[in-house]
Amino acid sequence: MASSRLVSVAPAGVFRSLRNSNYRIWAAGALVSNVGTWMQRTAQDWLVLTQLTHHDASAVGTVMALQFGPQLLLLPWTGFAADHYNQRKLLMATQATMGVLALALGLLTVTGGVQLWHVDVFAFLSGCASAFDAPVRQTFVTELVGDADLPNAIALNSTSFNAARMIGPAVAGLVIASVGTGWAFLLNGASFIAVLASLFLLRLSGLHANARAYRTRGSLTEGWRYVWSRPDLRAILAMLFLIGTFGLNFPIFISTMAVNVLHADARGYGLLSSTMAIGTISGALLAAGRDRPGFNALLIGSAVFGLGCALAAIAPNYWLFAGALVVIGVAALTFTNATNSLMQLTTEPAMRGRVMALRVAIALGGTPLGAPMVGWVATIGARARHSAWARRPALLRPLWPFTPWRDRFISHDGRLTRDVSRASFDTDGKRDHSNNGSQIIARDDVACCF
């Protein structure tokens, strides 16, 4: 079996796939639906974190695990369906199912009857529908534009998805603050009408039909054997597993940082998610301008992604954290788009559904393994970071005799105080009444002295 499959690529042009009328129809419907999807994701995290629990990031991680777990559980059947059945009809079925589930959760939330276990059940059912939807949706792009424009179409799909990531959370924040969380779910359910209409309006004669796989004994496991025989695909999937499991759990660490460290409200949380989309859109447009990605894109993307996560972890305020999210967004899209294009362009058409199902399962199915762990670490780490940040004076006390500004402060009884407008600060977080009631001791405020 060949280790790769050479495909001619069309001349460069950032928006060249939009010349195809079928792709334009599909892209318009997908953009509307993607905005609704991001509204629901934001509202779901906010509902669990602030209304159904007391800022419990591990509960958000559990919901994510249930939502993405079916990508692994149903892997043999999702790839099989993508390679053997009519992709357009299968997409209609999966999109309609997810729309109905969103409407049902919205009604339950609006009427005030929603509980945490309800969200868990709907997350799992939606995850099952999404498990069948994802590999079909990715390989269906080839039917729309053909192999020559495939890298560009994948990048434009990412641009649309991440434009929705910028718009959807911001709209969700406004909806949640104005009329409540349930209406974000209802609007998402209604948005599926757009993508269903686009699938119905496609010109069937203009589709580039992919070769369909034949049903044979062992078809369910043939995708595994194919990937195992390809060292290049194994390397891509190994990188994707590590980054997807421990790095792509954005809703967990963004929501935890927003609530527990930065003390943001629903609008602030939505703005952070939208800020990250600035980076992901930039990364997607950069990918759209390239003829064909290579392994260098994987290496650069993963290295910059790690750097961005480190910057986000130590960001001291809201806007620097938001800036780090932009870096993370560019790197994440550079990396994930490269894996998508490389795997599709080097895979036999009859195997693409199963190979892409495996890719989706590795990228998203690793979340059930990493999400609860990342949620727990985020909750504990946020508390530790807040405590360490607030107690910087105590941590720096051994260096105090060597600081040039030590004479501005008065040290007595084991405290660090500053004689400014008769106010005094120390590290105990209490009010000191020893100076006629005018000395105030505040753990959070003392940080401003250093």
Q: Which long-range contacts (CB under 8 A, 24 or more apart) does 153-157 make?
A: 153/17, 153/23, 154/287, 154/337, 154/340, 154/341, 154/344, 155/284, 155/285, 155/287, 155/288, 155/290, 155/337, 155/341, 156/15, 156/17, 156/18, 156/27, 156/284, 156/288, 157/27, 157/30
Give the pLDDT score at 56: 81
Half-sphere exposure of 169 (CA within 13 A, CB side): 27
DSSP state at residue 211 = P
Give the mean model confidence (pLDDT) for residues 88-113: 94
Residue 266 and residue 421: Cα distance in Å, rounded?
37
Collapsed DSSP state (helix, strand, coil) of residue 429: coil
Give the pLDDT score at 28: 93
Give the mean model confidence (pLDDT) for residues 194-213: 83
* Residue 71 or residue 234, greater confidence: 234
Collapsed DSSP state (helix, strand, coil) of residue 435: coil
pLDDT, one tens digit per residue, over 409-440 is 344 444 434 433 333 333 333 333 333 333 32
Give the mean model confidence (pLDDT) for residues 185-198: 95
* First CA to last CA distance, the chain: 64
Confidence of residue 211 (pLDDT cuts 50, 70, 90): low
The answer, yes or no, to whether residue 169 has pLDDT greater than 90, is: no
Question: Is 364:134 a contact under the CB 8 Å cutoff?
Answer: yes
Nearest to 33 by CA among 133, 124, 114: 133
Give the pLDDT score at 27: 92
Confidence of residue 372 (pLDDT cuts 50, 70, 90): low
φ, ψ at 20 (rounded to 5°): -85, 120
Confidence of residue 158 (pLDDT cuts 50, 70, 90): confident
Using only C-alpha atoms, what is the Rg of the chain?
Answer: 25
Residue 355 and residue 295: Cα distance in Å, rounded?
18
Residue 246 and residue 249: Cα distance in Å, rounded?
7
CA distances from 424 to 278, 410, 417 (A): 43, 9, 5
What percentage of the chain's residues is helix, strand, coil (to nearest 5)? 75, 5, 20
Collapsed DSSP state (helix, strand, coil) of residue 423: strand
Residue 280 and residue 268: Cα distance in Å, rounded?
19
Burial of 193 from C-beta contacts in 10 A (0-12 / 13-18 / 19+): middle
Angle between helices 116-145 and 57-68 (to 10 degrees): 50
Give the pLDDT score at 365: 61
Give the lowest-confidence range in 118-122, 190-194, 249-253, 309-313: 249-253
pLDDT, one tens digit per residue, over 259-270 is 777 777 777 777
Give the pLDDT score at 215: 59
CA distances from 415 to 90, 400, 406, 424 (A): 69, 12, 13, 10
Collapsed DSSP state (helix, strand, coil) of residue 420: strand
Which helix (H) or strand (E) segment is 204 a member of? none
Residue 332 and residue 338: Cα distance in Å, rounded?
10
Residue 371 and residue 385: Cα distance in Å, rounded?
20
Residue 265 and residue 270: Cα distance in Å, rounded?
9
Q: Which residue has the tokens 């010109």?
A: 203
Give the pLDDT score at 122: 95
* Residue 228 or residue 277, greater confidence: 228
Give the mean model confidence (pLDDT) for residues 109-116: 91
